[in-house]
Chain A
Amino acid sequence: MKQLMSGNVAIARGAYEAGVTVGVGYPGTPSTEILENFIKYPGIHAQWSPNEKVALEVGAGASIGGARAIVTMKHVGVNVAADPLFTLAYTGVNGGLILLSADDPGMHSSQNEQDNRYYALAAKIPCLEPADSQEAKDMVAQALEISERFDTPVMLRTTTRVSHSQSMVEIKDRQPVELKPYNKNPQKHVMSPGNAKVRRVQLEQRLAQLKEYSETCGLNFISWGDKQVGVITSGISYQYVQEVLPNASLLKLGFTNPLPEKMIRHFAAQVDKLYVVEELDPFIEMQVKAMGLDVIGKEIIANIGELSAYDVAQAFKKQGVSVAPQYVQSANPLIDEQAPQAPGRPPVLCAGCPHRASFHVLRKLKLTVTGDIGCYTLGSAPPLSAIDTCLCMGASVGMSYGMELANPEFKGKTVAVIGDSTFLHSGVTGLMDVVYNGGSTTLIILDNRITAMTGHQQNPATGKTLMGQPAPEVDIEALVKALGVKRVQVVDPINIGVFEKIIKEEIAAAEPSVIVARRPCALLNKESQQPMTVIKDQCIGCKMCMQIGCPALSFNDKKATIDGIQCNGCGLCSTICKQQAIVKGGQNNA
């Protein structure tokens, strides 16, 4: 039976069919839906871990315990998991183990654009790259077989366009897999230097075997066409090349680390001109060049952003290579100089979002704010413009402390903000550092009771697991006290007066302090509250309410108006309106 599935849904299905019983991860676009779909199957355990490092460690334990396991994360998550990954490459596995890295070329929802195939190269582990949902599903089983046969973790690397595109997938039944017996073997699993030195040599031997396997495994294959043009390609780029150059000879690489050198040399020798088409970095190209082969790659294909068939077609047309009929004519642009300018439509904090209140106060106090990764990163955009930095998960705490170290004048003028999930991901250690080293950083934990940016995933502070079971909630106040923070206050940020007073107190304090700004995400509360209404006669058109950037508020005919469908009645606009022109009620939301 065939079903339309996204790459992520297909990977979940593939894991189920291949007998995976343990799925672990940390939510991150574009990887999140894998575990959310995996939990729909019977006989499995799936969980969110607090961060990717922990997730991989749990996956490693499950594998050594004999189960097949998949560990999912986005590309930047692998940075967090890199520490166990590199040594896991030494110890190898027992049950098959997949590290799923979902890369985001084009940065649709990421802070950087990194090519994680380099991680496979650096850690000396196999890397598989699917080109559509069917391959995404099939490669799960193939990766697990490779993992078990060669005793190695395997990276399955997707990109946004594979993770989130839907295409047809053939469904099969689950193949039950027996748990592998566990045998105590410290030489293999205890990486003390003496043991690691032995494994280091074995790692190179394994890599040599994998290189041989790469030649014959079927994941890499050649489809011969016109031999004037030969293209080596992988992942989604393969689809673009097939569409643009239907007659060319293609070497399609599904297994991209280690590369099949003999196959590449054989292919190169048969074609007049050799190209590599790959997204992001010249990962294949550099290695092909290192083989001494003459190849064209990044000279014509961009190394920034996502590719498309259109881009590939433009590149080959400039090379004088004939392309598919639909790409011969350049698009006749319908947008010309006379076209009206389309203003951008950046994502914004939702109507009723509790972070809006927090940022309103921070901006009012003119504080320097080190930010972090989550919905609240949107607080950097106008009109709130309340965040100064955003580096990576958990960085806000350390960065605020660093600013204070750089210049004592920042003391009392900076705060760090972080979400509940991000705090538990990697903010805890930063805060521990502040306390230990005698800083006086003020940290505001924007606790909206959920991991919101990726679409409402549970975390250790929400009282629920991924599988829907009740769980003990982390007591954030008790946790930060245990780290040694003595000054801890909890406030609902919508009470902006109280919130402002507390911030002033805490930034003035000569010791570390934590403010938990606690109010659930506006989208968590399904029961619609009565929306706000503008009393037209009282509105003087001062636009004070427009400064909070609420998508439910607009300004027409010199008066504010509120969209009753979007408004969820949080009342922040009413609090900041000096004319008392905004009141609850008077209209219904749908």
Chain B
Amino acid sequence: MLKPIDVMLVGVGGQGTILATKVLARVAQDIGYDIKVSEIKGMAQRGGSVVTQVRLAPQVHSPLIPLGGADVILSFEKLEALRWLDYLKPDGTMIINDQAINPVPVLIGAATYPDNVLDYIKGKVQKTEVVNALDIAVKCGNARTANVVLLAVLAKHLPIDRQSWEQALTAVVPEKFIEVNRAAFNEGYTL
């Protein structure tokens, strides 16, 4: 019996959450889960907040994860981790990319970016893992693979074997980018 798992991927438009979601959905499908994926896009590419909800279970009804229901939140940006924190189970896992992207209200001085996001979350969530995905991605040769570094960290926390992940990655990523993405996945997985 496959254990139900609810995962949220949150970030900012353009960070590659959609590709990461595709790989997660693919791997879950390959190992026999029923899946529902819900994403809000449309405004996403204009730098807005992006959230994807992925529900894995033998049978999924609602495509939406309830408040306090997510087993894992994979956050591509610190502020977004805070924004969606209420969706995490109290004993859930928070994976945060240690990157700040200023929203426009902050850029123009109408709001401030809080400086204690990580400390607050660490104080609330025992299982918090902070990853410097952007630096790792740059070292791998492409800043845009930060999403795959983060996906690999998520992979370690889910009961799905590494080989299945690598197969799904190969199936989803365009061929000309596969090498750099494999390297990024490897770095994330061995952190």
Q: Which residues on A are within 8 Å of B, measured CB to CB?
A: 4, 29-30, 108-109, 132, 160-161, 164-168, 236, 239-240, 242-243, 308-310, 313, 326-327, 329-335, 338-350, 375, 378, 381-383, 454-455, 523, 543, 546-547, 549, 551, 553-555, 565, 590
In whole Å, how far is B35's beta carbon from the nearest beta carbon of chain A? 6
Contacting pair B82 A342 (CB below 8 A): yes
Question: Chain B residues near A338 (CB, 8 Å)?
Answer: 120
Alpha-carbon gap, A391 to B82, bound state (A):
34
**15 extra interchain contacts, Cβ-Cβ under 8 A, other than A240-B64, A345-B48, A345-B49?**
A4-B25, A164-B38, A164-B39, A240-B62, A242-B61, A242-B62, A313-B66, A326-B66, A327-B66, A333-B67, A334-B85, A335-B82, A342-B114, A345-B47, A345-B80
Structural contact, B46 and A350, CB atoms closer than 8 A = yes
Q: Which residue of A lies closest to B40 (CB)?
A: A108
What separation, in Å, do the CA atoms of A333 and B12 have in the docked complex? 23
Instruction: Report chain B residues within 8 Å CB of A161.
Output: 38, 63-64
A331 CB contact (under 8 Å) in B38, B68, B143: B68
Verify A382–B108 contact, CB threshold 8 A.
yes
B112 is an interface residue with CB less than 8 A from chain A: yes
State in angstroms the CA–CA spacing of A555 and B112 once bound together. Answer: 12
Q: In this complex, what residue of B is CB-closest to A548?
A: B108
B113 interface neighbour in A109, A343, A551, Cβ under 8 Å: A343
Q: Are A334 and B124 in contact (CB under 8 A)?
A: yes
A309 near B39: Cβ-Cβ < 8 Å: no
Q: Which 10 A-B pairs have the closest CB atoms?
A: A331-B68, A340-B114, A343-B111, A347-B46, A347-B48, A165-B63, A345-B103, A243-B61, A310-B66, A29-B42
- Name the A residues within 8 Å of B116 (CB-CB): 340
Q: B152 → chain A, closest Cβ, in Å? A: 21
Q: Say which residue of A4, A108, A334, A346 sits within 8 Å of B37 (CB atoms).
A: A4
Give the docked Cα–Cα distance between A447 and B121 (Å): 45
**In the assembled complex, how far is the CB of residue B169 from the closest CB belonging to chain A, in whole angstroms?**
16
Nearest chain A residue, comparing its CB with the CB of B35: A4
Nearest neighbor of A329 in chain B, beta-carbon distance: B68
CB distance from B98 to the nearest CB of A (A): 16
**Cα–Cα distance between A204 and B17 once the two chains are bound (Å):** 51
Name B62's closest neighbour in chain A (CB-CB). Answer: A309
Nearest-CB residue, chain A, relative to B108: A383
Are B61 and A309 touching (Cβ within 8 A)?
Answer: yes
Evaluate contact between B67 and A4: CB separation under 8 angstroms.
no
> Chain B 44-73 against A: per-residue CB contact (8 Å), 1 yes, 0 no?
111111000000000011111011110000
List residues of chain B with CB within 8 A of the CB of A565: 143
Closest A residue to B48 by beta carbon equals A347
A404 to B165, CA, bound (A): 62
Q: Does the CB pair B13–A342 fall under 8 Å? A: no
B41 interface contact, C-beta 8 A: yes
Contact present for A343 and B112 (CB under 8 Å): yes
Q: Is the CB of B88 within 8 A of A551?
A: no
User: Residue on A with the closest CB to B43?
Assistant: A347
Closest beta carbon of chain B to A550's beta carbon, Å: 8
Give the complex CA separation of A244 and B109 in angstroms. 43
Given known A-B contacts A313-B66, A382-B110, A346 and B48 have beta carbons under 8 A apart: yes
Residues of B within 8 A of A344 (CB): 103, 105, 111
- Chain B 77-92 residues near chain A, CB threshold 8 A: 79-80, 82-83, 85-86, 88, 90
Most central of B39, B69, B108, B116 by chain A CB within 10 Å: B108
Once A166-B35, A240-B61, A350-B45 are accepted as A-B contacts, the answer to whether A553 and B107 lie under 8 Å apart by CB is yes
Query: Whose C-beta in chain B lies nearest to the C-beta of A331?
Result: B68
* Across-interface contacts of A313 in B (CB, < 8 A): 66
B132 at the interface (CB under 8 A from A): no
Complex CA distance for A239 and B90, rounded to whole angstroms: 25
Tell me, in angstroms, the Cα distance from A546 to B64 when the chains sit together: 38
Q: How far is the CA of A327 from the CA of B144 in the complex (A)?
A: 38
B46 touches A348 (CB 8 A): yes
